[in-house]
Structure 1
Amino acid sequence: MQMPVCVLGAHTTLMAQCILQVRRALHSVGSKIHPFVKEALDNGRPVVALESTIITHGLPYPQNLSTAREVEEIVRANGAVPATIGILNGCIRVGLQDDELECLAKAKNTVKVSRRDFPYVLSQGLSGGTTVAGTMIVAHKAGIPVFVTGGIGGVHRGGEKTLDVSADLTELGRTPVAVISAGVKSILDIGRTLEYLETQGICVATFGESRAFPAFFSRQSGFQAAYNVLNEEDAAQLIARSLALRLGSGVLIAVPCPEEEAASGQLIEDAIQQALQDSRERAITGKELTPFLLQRVNELTSGKSLNSNITLIKNNARVGSQIAVALNKIQRAQGRRGDPSLSRKMFSAPRPVVIGGINVDFIAKAKSSTLVDGGQTNPATVRQSFGGVGRNLADCLSRLGKSPVFISAMGKDEHSASVLRYCRHMDMSSVCQLDGHSTATYCAVIAGSGELRLGLGDMEIHQQITEQYVSGFRENLRRAPLVCIDGNVPVSTIQYVCQFAREHHLAVYYEPTDVDKASKPFFSDSWRALASISPNLRELRAINRTLGHPVPADLPSKLEDVVETAVALALPLLQELHCMVITLGQHGVLVCGRSMDGSVSLHPGSCSKTTAGELCATHYPALPVPVEEIVNVSGAGDSFMAGMIAGMLDGGNTDDCVRMGLLSASLSLRSYEPVSPEISAASVSMERVQSQRWLGTKAWTLS
């Protein structure tokens, strides 16, 4: 479980108990933590809390929804997991699903929920957006130490007479959460706000080289903060020290707006003054004042303040998520130096690990089953999709409810933004994004019959999935029930994973990817540490050639000959590998390995070379899919492997696991996406495959 403080020994254990207690309290009042958020917290990865009043009361539809989505993507792109907090039908949600975001964005008559409003809103089953104060409360109870917002509330102008002071300020004085904002809105009395923050004992620091306190749309307010932090590492150290002292109060990090936005600051300030005058004339006060002022300022600036508002929020999300990542590194290091049992608890939810490539795919499918060469244009449909063997495996496993740790790399470019948007249903927090690199792209030319005829790829970024980067996930690897690695990964990284597997007795499954990359583990003795591989017949021949074994010059097409050739090529490798799953395209799959209870054992933990029976092979025919329904074959093999692995993780027998894979593959064959969006834990389940009628299998004992 992730610790929200940086303390050692007994203090750390005590705080872990406190977090468990507050999570139980959160659950008792009716709450739901998004699975990705919970897994990130349980596995000690950085999480950033986000408020929802910007959705319900801050921005108009559809800008509120698009901004909320974009802010979450920025958090993911910077290495953290977003947790937008809101209330739906009387239930606190820590991490809103995309459809829940849309529900709040379109909802009418939602409540603006601060500390005082929780009892009523929850008891009446209402929906609402949490304010800064409300979000801080929930984030702290969930164990999230960093919260990003636009700007906090403060002392209203004339507050010395009206006592109109935002609950955000008192919440900062009693809830230990770091708030990353653009300072306070210039509609407020900034001087008195800073004085009130000091009275509450809140550490206030600006982000950057200056102590000039920002006023939301303006980089300077005429006031100074007590301190400044130069970068995200300094900010993280400040937050860590504050949490370690257990002061019970929060930290405010004020981030100036980007310089390119400051030019419009004076225009907006003039509009604010006019809006304040309008509010006085209309006698608007209390919680209705801020929404009125923001709407009026937007009208007076012809929308410029709205655009600036959105830019500020995105900038805060970038800075805040970088601070959260830096803080998380400190917390992990403190946990390892302290109570050793705590480090193990931080990683208490083992998950499968997938290491491999991400591609943006451009799929061109010809209208005809034959392609004309010579520079002529073949009529076709061209679509963009998202692939990469590792990504496909992680995608399918995620849809099947297995939520893998996905380790990969991509650039910081327009393609990476689209990848993160599409992969919103996956945990992408372990994917590094690198400046100066291009996200991998792949172009496939497919005949009308569904056969891949030509592939072109720019895959240099995959070389950045280095041994050094992967080694940062040692604890995830060590505790993983299963590790999948694809052939896009550099040889040195594959060797590192194999050596790690040998030392920690891990089950590693290798997906060869294509003929040219299939042999990477076989350049050395690394492959002997693998549990299983899943080549097609061409890849299996290439592997045997690398090992110096005799191989046929031509590969057969008739099923009986295909199986005979596959068995002959599998036998030399089965002296070391636990099992092999050879994909045969339209002919289905051939599973080869050691028998257990009459069938091939898929998982190495179930038997050993000394106790298992004879080597055997079982052929499983593919599910029949009419040619006219085949749309894309590029992800069928990956979907098969993920479906089979999901069955293994559920403890299924070999027949059911393989059939879960075949069902997943048949769905993806009918999809324009490499992994069909129709794949789910409901559409591909053990119960589903057990209720269906299947074509017969055939088994052989291997000599």
Structure 2
Amino acid sequence: MKPDLLCIGSVLWDIIGRSNAHMSAGSDVPGRITRIPGGVALNVAMAARAYGMTPALLSVVGRDPEGDELVAAVGRLGIVTDLLHRSDDLPTDRYMAVEGGNGLIAAIADAHSLEAAGDKILTPLDGLDWRGPIVLDGNLTLDLLAVIATDPRFASADLRVAPASPGKAERLQPFLEHRAATLYVNLEEAGILLHGSQTDAGEAAEALLARGLHRVIVTDGPRLAACADPNGCIRRTPPEVMVTRVTGAGDTFMAAHIAAELQGADSEDALRRACDAAATYVSSDTY
């Protein structure tokens, strides 16, 4: 299969515990625990596949039983795995989250193998004449992201960058002046990049653009979302839905937005489609 999207970043197992009960620190409640393929890069790839795209993954997966299972599962979804770095000495990464009826309670991302592999995951690019969009996630190290931000191979690339979590938002600083990068951040992550809280997604998007960013999409859960570029700032409020899950919602939004633009949607329609896709995702109870 010939890919039309590269997803560079975390490819791992998501271990997610979910309960309908409202939870807080120390809660002990009945629920369900699932293990599914995940990681920001893989989540975007899976969602993009659902929108008719053929994504390829650049990441590291261990040559352990968990890694073999993961690669096989991803391959069955129609995602290109030929460019993955398979490591003999690094274990397959994992992510663990606990979700209650009141949203995400806590999460831990164990992406140490991705960090340890470093630029080895980029080796397949040396023989690849790539001209399509590239998704990057903030689970890559700051050093590697800084290299990518200044690498001639990526200078004019259509980079779509997501921080992975608020705790990794600072890693995206090198892309604030990249001439072709689009950042996908939530309101909290935007505030971290701007070193100050923002009133809403529109204000945050305009502030990031003023900092030199080429283009930015800012989301805020069920509240206002915004897309800002040199042509202006577009705002949209997502549909109201009953939220039953949250892990992966931002990745679904990102994939839907990319797919819409590649299908010819303008900025306003692409933002609408992404908001609708995220709303459908969070209101579904099937991983």
TM norm. shorter chain > 0.5: yes
Distance 1:569 1:592 in 2: 6
TM superposition shift of 1:494: 1.5
Aligned equivalent of 2:252: 639
Quick check: 2:163–2:172 contact (8 Å CA) kept in 1? no
Q: Deviations over 1:207-239 (max 9, x none)?
A: xxxxxxxxxxxxxxxxxxxxxxxxxxxxxxxxx
Provide TM-score, normalisation by structure 2.
0.89
Q: 2:233 aligns with which of 614, 617, 629?
A: 617
Quick check: 1:534–1:580 contact (8 Å CA) kept in 2? yes
Aligned equivalent of 1:518: 169
Aligned equivalent of 1:576: 212
Q: Secondary structure at the match of 1:543?
A: helix
Distance 2:90 2:44 in 1: 23
- Considering fraction of residues, name the structure with more strand: 2
Quick check: 1:544–1:569 contact (8 Å CA) kept in 2? no
Provide TM-score, normalisation by structure 1.
0.38
Distance 2:127 2:262 in 1: 19
TM superposition shift of 1:528: 1.5
Q: Secondary structure at the match of 1:534?
A: strand
Letter in 2 for 1:491: L
Q: 1:533 aligns with which of 183, 187, 209?
A: 183
TM superposition shift of 1:444: 0.5
Q: Secondary structure at the match of 2:238?
A: coil
Which structure is higher in RCO with an 8 Å CA cutoff and minimum separation 6? 2
Find out whether 1:660 has 2:276 as its counterpart. Answer: no
Q: Secondary structure at the match of 1:519?
A: helix
Superposition CA RMSD, Å: 2.3
Distance 2:256 2:137 in 1: 16
Letter in 2 for 1:562: D
Report how many residues are paired: 283
Find out whether 1:562 has 2:200 as its counterpart. Answer: yes
Aligned equivalent of 1:362: 15
TM superposition shift of 1:520: 1.1
Distance 1:663 1:482 in 2: 22
Find out whether 1:488 has 2:139 as its counterpart. Answer: yes
Letter in 2 for 1:666: A
TM superposition shift of 1:641: 0.6
Structure-to-structure mapping, 1:382-397, within 5 angstroms: 382-397=33-48
Q: Secondary structure at the match of 1:581?
A: strand
Aligned equivalent of 1:601: none
Quick check: 2:204–2:218 contact (8 Å CA) kept in 1? no
Quick check: 1:541–1:569 contact (8 Å CA) kept in 2? no
Aligned equivalent of 1:592: 228
Distance 1:351 1:513 in 2: 22
Distance 1:490 1:372 in 2: 30
Quick check: 1:528–1:576 contact (8 Å CA) kept in 2? yes
Q: Secondary structure at the match of 1:461?
A: helix
Q: Secondary structure at the match of 2:147?
A: helix
Task: Tell me which structure has the larger Cα radius of gyration.
Answer: 1
Distance 2:248 2:28 in 1: 26
Quick check: 1:636–1:665 contact (8 Å CA) kept in 2? yes
Find out whether 1:648 has 2:238 as its counterpart. Answer: no
| Structure 1 segments unaligned to the other structure (5+ residues) | 1-35, 40-349, 546-550, 556-560, 596-615, 674-703
Q: Deviations over 1:322-343 (max 9, x none)?
A: xxxxxxxxxxxxxxxxxxxxxx
Letter in 1 for 2:200: V
Q: Deviations over 1:505-539 (max 9, x none)?
A: 222121011112111132xx554225211111111
Distance 1:468 1:415 in 2: 20
Letter in 2 for 1:359: L
Letter in 2 for 1:378: V
TM superposition shift of 1:634: 0.8
Divergent runs of 4+, >4 A: 501-504
- Classify 1:431/1:588 alpha carbon distance in 2 versus 1 (closer, same or farther; 3 Å): farther
Aligned equivalent of 2:105: 453
Find out whether 1:626 has 2:239 as its counterpart. Answer: no
Distance 1:574 1:410 in 2: 39
Distance 1:504 1:593 in 2: 18
Letter in 2 for 1:493: L
Aligned equivalent of 1:444: 97
Letter in 2 for 1:455: A
- Classify 1:660/1:434 alpha carbon distance in 2 versus 1 (closer, same or farther; 3 Å): same
Q: 1:430 aligns with which of 63, 73, 83?
A: 83
